[in-house]
Every structure is written in C-alpha cells, then in structure tokens.
Structure 1
Amino acid sequence: MDIEEHSGGNAVKTIIPLSRRTLLRRGTIVLGSIALIPIAIHSLSGKAGSATKGMLHYQDSPKDGHSCSGCSSFRPPTAPDAETGTCKVLEGPISPHGWCMAYSPR
C-alpha cells in the first residue's frame, strides 16, 4: 500500500508492507468473489425457457437415438395439426425430432 506524504512541496511515497495474513484474507475475498460470479449470472438467466437454441446446440434432427419427444423438458404441441412443441429450457418452437445439450430422458 502506498501512502503519499507531502513535505515542502515534494511528494514522497512511503510503502507500508502488508502482512501475510492480510494478503491471504484479501486473496480469499477476491477468489471467492470470482467463483461466485458465474453462479450469480446463471441465477439471473435461470428463467424457464430463456436459453437460446445456439447456447445449447439445438438441432432439428435426433442425436444418438435421442430426440426432444423423449425429453422430460419437451411440451408436445397443443393443437392437433401443429408440428412443433415448446420446451421448458429453450425458447421458441421445438421440433419433436430435435435434440439439444439439455436433453434429459423421461
């Protein structure tokens, strides 16, 4: 920590050494804050259906035999002639034959 002292018009910097305990405390606070940032950001965007298709690599075709129609987050279309449903995780229309990284089997 630097402290400026003014003596006769000239600024003199005096360096005050920090103890190991103080450095460890400050380091712990900084690292703890950095670790909490992703949690805070995720909780702000944790609204259902708020993820974009690009974020979760959504595709309109199945992957490894898994498709949205077998996912616990998929909501089938309400109208009998509708081809797309909705999702609890993704926003927008979702194909029952699609797939994304949030896939969770029923």
Structure 2
Amino acid sequence: MEKQNDHAATRRQVLRGGVAVVGGVIAVGAQAQAQEKLPQDQVKYQQHPNNGNHCAICVNFIAPSSCQLVAGKINPNGWCIAFAPKADAKG
C-alpha cells in the first residue's frame, strides 16, 4: 500500500508542476502580445512636431529612430498621440 501512496504523491507533484508550467506559458504569451507595437496610422503618427512636442523628447523614443510603442522607423522630429514628454524635456 505504501508504494501506491508514494506513486500517487509523485503523480500529484507532476500534475501540480504541469499546471505551473502551463500558467507560466500563458503569462509569457500574454506579455508578448502586450508588447506588440501599434501601427503608425493608429496613433496618428506624423513626420513633424506638434506645438513643440516631438519624438526625441518623448519617454517612448529609442534613438536613433525607434519607439517602444509605435512600429516602424520613427523620425526624432515626428509626433503621435502617444507622446509623453520626458521629465527633463523642455519642448
């Protein structure tokens, strides 16, 4: 009888581990989807500044020509509705 209990406990541990792995895979998949960039037309991206605001002073801009949120090549002098100025930006 003890062998059956040992076997059952091992099976239980494997099932618990499997559930944890599946949960981790789901979490990683959700994170990957959340990191997909938005199309430029969806954020109304334009190649010129808007009232002194431009990509180069945005917290999402990645020099020399990328963005954390917007897909494609980004002009440092461009602008979109996702603009968020850096704390030290002077516009």
Q: CA separation of 1:44/1:75 partners in 2, compared to 1, >3 Å: closer, same or farther? A: closer
Superposed, 1:5-24 pairs within 5 Å as none
State the match for 1:91 in structure 2.
71
CA shift for structure 1 position 47: 1.5
State the match for 1:70 in structure 2.
57
Q: CA separation of 1:63/1:94 partners in 2, compared to 1, >3 Å: closer, same or farther? A: same
CA shift for structure 1 position 46: 2.5
CA shift for structure 1 position 45: 5.0
Q: Name whichever structure is richer in helix by fraction.
A: 2
The structure whose RCO (Cα within 8 Å, separation 6+) is larger is: 2
Taking structure 1 as the reference length, what is the TM-score of the superposition? Answer: 0.49
Superposed, 1:2-41 pairs within 5 Å as none
* Aligned residue pairs, count: 56
**1:40-92, Cα deviation, whole Å (9 max, x unpaired):** xxx885324x1000000000000011000000000112xxxxxxx10000011
Q: Secondary structure at the match of 2:52?
A: coil
Taking structure 2 as the reference length, what is the TM-score of the superposition? Answer: 0.57
State the match for 2:35 in structure 1.
47
Gaps of 5+ in 1: 1-42, 78-84
| Aligned-pair Cα RMSD in Å | 1.7
